[in-house]
A and B are shown apart, each in its own frame.
Chain A
Amino acid sequence: MKTEPVNLTDGLLRSVTKPARYVGGEWNSVTKPLSSDLVRFAFCFPDVYEIGMSNSALQILYYLLNQRPDTWCERSFAPWTDMEQLMREKNIPLYSLESRTPLSQFDWVGFTLQYELSFTNVLNMLDLAGIPQLTLERSAEDPLVVAGGPVAFNLEPMADFFDLAVIGEAEETIEELIDLYHQHCPNGRTSTWDRSAFLRQAAAIPGVYVPSLYAVVYKTDQTVEAIRPLDGTVPPIIQKRIVKNLNTMKRPDQLIVPNTEIVHDRMSLELFRGCPRGCRFCQAGMIYRPVRETGVDTLSKQAAALEQSTGYDECGLLSLSTSDYSQLGSLTDRLLEQFSGHHTSLSLPSLRLDSFTLELMQKGSSTRKSGLTFAPEAGTQRLRDVINKNITEQDLLEAMTLAFKGGWNGAKLYFMLGLPTETDMDAQAIADLTDSIETLYRGLPRSDRPRRLELTVSTAVFIPKPHTPFQWAPQELPEVVNKRQQFLKERFRNRPVKYHYHDWHSSLIEALLARGDRRLGAVIRDVWAKGQTFDAWDDHFKLDNWLDSLEKFGLDVSFYAHRERAEAEIMPWDHIDCGVTSAFLYREYQKALKAKTTPQCRIACSQCGATTFEGGICFGD
C-alpha cells in the first residue's frame, strides 16, 4: 500500500483559522514504524478538533488500540469550512493527524456518533477522504467504515453508509474485530481479500451490527413491517456489549494533551457508567445500564498517573450524575489530598446540590471557583413526575439558600420545553420557579447574600429518543414550543435573568433523525450534496434544505417527529437490544402519562431488564 503523506504548505496553514488543529504533534500522540502487518485505524470525530478531542471515548479507544503492537490508531476531525474549501481546491484528501496519511489508505475508518446532527459531517468526511459513501459502492480496496457511540443504538438513518457498527461499550468488541481482521489480512489488505466473508463473521461477534445483512420491509402506512436478517446465520437481535468490571479494565494512564485549547481541557476520571435515576427523557440513562462503579483506589491511581503524564492542572469527574457515586466523599477527600501542593484543582460537574455537595464544591474550588448548574428540567412538580426527575422546588430553594450563603450569586437552570403532557401552565411555572429564587434572595439579610443576583435560564426543546420511555411520544409542534419560548422571553424581560432558548428548527431535524429509519439515508445524502455540513452549529443549519430533501423523497417530517407511535409498532431500531426491555419502557411511558414516578435503582429494582448483563448495581456491586 502506498503511504504518501499529504503536503500541508505554510501558505495553506496561514490561510485558515486555528491551524494548530490540523497539524498534530501533541504530547502523548502516538506514532509507530510502518510495516505491512500493522493494522491502521483512523478514529474520526465528525466535528471540529476542539469538540472531538474533548470526547473521552476517543481517548480511551486511542489508548487501547495503540497498546496493541499490531495496531496503529490515528485521529481525524472535520475540517472547518475554510480548511475544507482549500483542501478541495488543492486536492488534498482528508488525512490523519499523526502521519498525515489519506484516510482512504487505512484498514479501518471509525466514526463515533455522539449526536444525530453530525450525520452530514460523516458523509462530508468520507467524501473528502475519497472513500465511497455507500457501503454498496465500497470494494476490497476501501477501508472498513465502522460506527460507534450512543447514536449507533439507532443507526438506521445512516445504515447505508456504515459497513458495521459496534453497539454499546466498544472496549472489548473493537479488539475482537481487529483480531478477526488480522486473520483475514495477516499482511495488510490486498485487492482480493474477501470483505463480505469478513463482515459475515464480524456479525457473529456479540455487539457487532452489520446493517447490510438485514432487510427492512415497510407497511403501506409507512411504519416498519419487519427487520429481517438475510439468512439463518445472521443474528436477528444484536445485544449491546458492556464492560462488566470497570476496575479490571485497561484504563488510560495517559491522554493526548492538545496544543491548542479544547472544550474540556482537563483530565477526567470516569466514576461510573450508567445512571440509577431513570429520567424518562434520557437516552444515556437507559442505554448505559446497568450502573457500574469504579473503585476509589483505581481512580486515585489513575489520577496520579494522568497528572504525571499529562501535566494537566485540572481534574474533572465524569459520570451521568456525580452525586450518585456511592463513595464520592472518600474519593474527593483522597483526590484533594493527593493534589494538594501541586496546584491541581478538582472540578465537579453534574451535582445535585445539598449541604454535603456544597461543602464539597467549596473544597473543590479552593483553587478555582466554578459556577452552579441545576437541571430541574420542568417547571411544575407534576411535569417533573412525568419525566421522573426527582427534584422538588423545596430541594432547589434549599440548595439556593446554601449557595447564596456560600458566596454564589446565582446559578444556571436548565429546562426542557415540549415535554409530553406539558401545558402552557407548565411553561409559566418555569418563570414562577425563577421568581421564587429571586424572592428567596431578596428575603435574605444583605450580609447573607452576595451582591447582584444573576440567574441564567436555558430551555432546550424536548426530543424523543429511541430506547427511552418516550420513544412512542410525539415531539411537541413547533408553533407550540415557539409560543412558550416567546412567553418566557417576555416574562424574563427586566428581571435579573438571562434567558437562552434553543431554536426549534434543528431540534425538529434531530427528532426526525433520532427515530428515523433507513429511508432517511437518501435524504441525509441529498442534504449533504447541497453543501450542508455542521448541522449542529446554529449558523450552519438550514431547515429548508432538510424539508426540501424530505419532500423530494416523498417523506414527511411529522410522520417521524410528531406522531404518537402505537405500542405494537415495530420501531426501526427494534433489532438493537440495549438490555432494557420494550415492556419496561412502555410501562414507564404509561406511568409517565399518569405522572407516576419510579424509584431509582438503589432504592428498588423496577425490572428494566439490565440484569441480563449479570453485573453492576443489579447484583449489589
Chain B
Amino acid sequence: MVTNWRIRYSRKGPAVWLAHLDQMRTFERSIRRAGIPVAYSGGFNPRPQLAFALPIGVGIATEDDYVDVKIDDQQNYEPDVNELWCSELNRSLPEGLEVQASRLVTDDKKNSLMSRVTAARYRLSSLELAKKVDRFQTRFNEDTWMVEKQTREKRSLQDIKPLILDIQTEGKHLVELLVCAGSQKNLRPELFLQLLKMHQFLSEEDMLETSITRTELLFAPQHMKVADTNIRDWVSGLDV
C-alpha cells in the first residue's frame, strides 16, 4: 500500500509568477524543509515524488489546486500526522503559497488526480470586463469561436467554443468561466481573452491587465473515465 498526502493549496502574490517547474521545485524544497517523509523516485537523479493535478500558467492565481505527495512508508510517522504536516508545510512555504486543507489517501495509480481532472473554473477581472463579455456574447453568437493559438513553433487556429462550458458575468467587471481542463481537453483562459481582443471587444492592454484566478478544479468520480462522466457527476474539493 502506498500513501499519498493530498494537499489543496492556493497561490497569490509573488508566487503567481512562478512557472510550473519553478513551483514544483519550490514545493519540493518546502516539503524538505518541513521534514515531511516524501518518497523519492529511483534512478540516477532521484526526485521527490509530487504529482500536481493540473499545471497552472504563469501569472494565474489559484484558490483551489491539488498536489499529491507520495509518502515514504518505510519511515515512521503517526497515523494522525496530517494536521502537524499541514502546519509545518505552511511554515515552510514561501510568500503566496498556502496549504488550505490536506488529508492522507491511498495511492491508486489508475485514478491519479491528473487523470481525473475534468474542468476548471476561472474568475477573470478587469475594468468593465463583464460588460464587454455580455456585449460580445450578444453580438457574436456564432457556432465556432476561432482563436489564433501561438505555440513556440507555429500558429494555428482553434475553435474554443466546445471547450467553454459556461460563462457567467457578475456586475461590471467580473466574469466566471467554466472550461474543460485536463490532459484530454484543456482550455487556457487566456485564449478566451484573446478571442475578445481579436474581435476588438478588449484592448491589448486590458487583456494583459486582466487578473485570472483559478477558483475551482472539478474531477471525474473515482473509477470513471473523464469521457464517461457528465457534469452532474463531477466532484470538487477534497472529495476526490
Contact = CB atoms under 8 A, between A and B. Distances in A.
Interface of A: 9-11, 13-15, 19-20, 22-27, 257, 259-261, 308-313, 342-343, 367-369
Nearest to A21: B17
B138 interface: no
Contact of A313 (B14, B32, B94, B96): B32
19 contacts: A10-B210, A20-B18, A23-B14, A25-B13, A25-B95, A26-B94, A27-B30, A257-B29, A259-B15, A259-B26, A259-B94, A260-B18, A261-B22, A310-B33, A311-B29, A311-B92, A343-B46, A343-B48, A369-B44
Given A10-B211, A19-B17, A23-B14, A259 B30 contact: no
Q: Which 8 A-B pairs have the closest CB atoms?
A: A25-B14, A311-B29, A11-B208, A11-B209, A311-B32, A25-B95, A311-B33, A23-B14
A25 B14 CA distance: 6
Interface residues of B, number: 32
B184 interface: no
A23 B17 contact: yes
Nearest to B58: A19
A260 B209 contact: no
B19 A310 contact: no
A11 B125 CA distance: 12
B28 interface: yes
Nearest to A341: B75
B29 A19 contact: no
A547 B46 CA distance: 51
Interface in B193-226: 205, 208-211
Contacts of A27: 26, 29-30, 33, 92, 94
Given A11-B208, A19-B58, 18 more contacts: A9-B209, A10-B208, A14-B208, A20-B14, A25-B14, A26-B94, A27-B30, A27-B33, A257-B29, A259-B17, A259-B22, A260-B18, A260-B22, A261-B21, A309-B33, A343-B48, A367-B46, A368-B44
B14 A368 contact: no
A13 B22 contact: no
Contact of B15 (A14, A22, A25, A311): A25
A308 B211 contact: no
Nearest to A309: B33
B211 A259 contact: no
A25 B44 contact: no
Contacts of A26: 94
A340 B208 CA distance: 47
B55 interface: no
B141 interface: no
Contacts, number: 80
Nearest to A369: B44
B87 to A, nearest CB: 17
Contacts of B94: 25-27, 257, 259
Contacts of A24: 14
A20 B57 CA distance: 12
Interface string B28-44: 11111100000010001
B25 interface: yes
B212 to A, nearest CB: 9
Contact of B17 (A20, A313, A369): A20
Given A23-B17, A260-B18, A14 B26 contact: no
A11 B15 CA distance: 16
A15 B208 contact: yes
Contacts of A310: 29, 33
Contacts of B22: 20, 259-261
Contacts of A313: 28-29, 32
A95 to B, nearest CB: 13
B156 interface: no
B46 A312 contact: no
Given A259-B18, A260-B19, A10 B30 contact: no
B29 A13 contact: no
B29 A11 contact: no
B204 to A, nearest CB: 9
Given A15-B208, A311-B92, A368 B45 contact: yes
Contacts of A260: 18-19, 22
A261 B25 contact: yes
Contacts of A309: 33
A259 B15 CA distance: 8
A259 B18 CA distance: 7
B30 to A, nearest CB: 6
Contacts of A9: 209
